Amino acid sequence: MNKVKVGFFSFTEITDPSEHRSYNEWHQLDHMPEQYPLPGMAFGQRWVSTPACRAARAVDGPLLAPVHYVTLYLMTEPVETTLEEFRALGGELRRVGRFHEHRRALLSGPFDVARVDAAPRVLISAAAVPYRPNRGAYIVVEDLPPPGGQTDDGATVDGDNVDALLEEPGVAGVWTFVSDEERRTAWRPGRHRVTVCFLDESPLTVSSSLGEVVRRWRPAGDAVVHAGPCEAIRPWRWDWFDVAGP
């Protein structure tokens, strides 16, 4: 049984190129730790789309082209209480001046956990995959049709696509999330599916082969709006954009 019911994503752009260090210091040392005392907050992780990761994207649609960072919080029951307190905490931190202003969320909100898988070689359960140390993630974002659409109602994950990802070297596991903005109107994440491949090889080493897998997706391939690698963030290692810019 998987105790995690929701993944809260934030795909974030830093709007001032000089603010990357201060953003990372704020998020890693102030903002993220404050989330863990909330009821139902199980885990959180952030990844960075470095300039090299951006160049290695297989799909780079306009919605997420500017993204620099991806944050994922995993939430358990009581989900609705957790989301309410999560939102209230964000407002309070902003009120007291503990919120980073040089940032823009390109896509954010709660996504229901749709499917969890582990590669057989890692031995651990699928539910444990996010807690296993990773070197980064390969993240795929798809548009989903309106409810009752002819091709997909948004709730079904293509198992063949997931299985193909799990077969690739470096993929330790895959978690898939689907947004349900009609049920949770406080956020507007649109109708999207986010697939996260947790990597135990260098993201740049495996990005080419994973990109080829995504390009072969059918019918979902036509709906992919973003696919690319991100590196895991290590505390106080925040220099990716010091020379290269945003």
| Inside any domain, residue 237 | no
Q: What's the confidence (pLDDT) of residue 159?
A: 85
Contacts of 47 (CB under 8 A, 6+ apart): 69, 70, 136, 137, 139, 230, 231, 232, 233
Total-model pTM: 0.93
Q: What's the confidence (pLDDT) of residue 149?
A: 56
Domain that holds residue 91: 4-232
Structural domain total, the chain: 1
Region 203-227: mean pLDDT is 89
Q: Which two tokens stand for residue 209?
A: 């082969």
For 122-167, write each residue's pLDDT tens digit.
Answer: 999 999 999 999 999 999 999 998 776 544 444 467 788 999 999 9
| Inside any domain, residue 216 | yes
CATH number at residue 186: 3.30.70.100
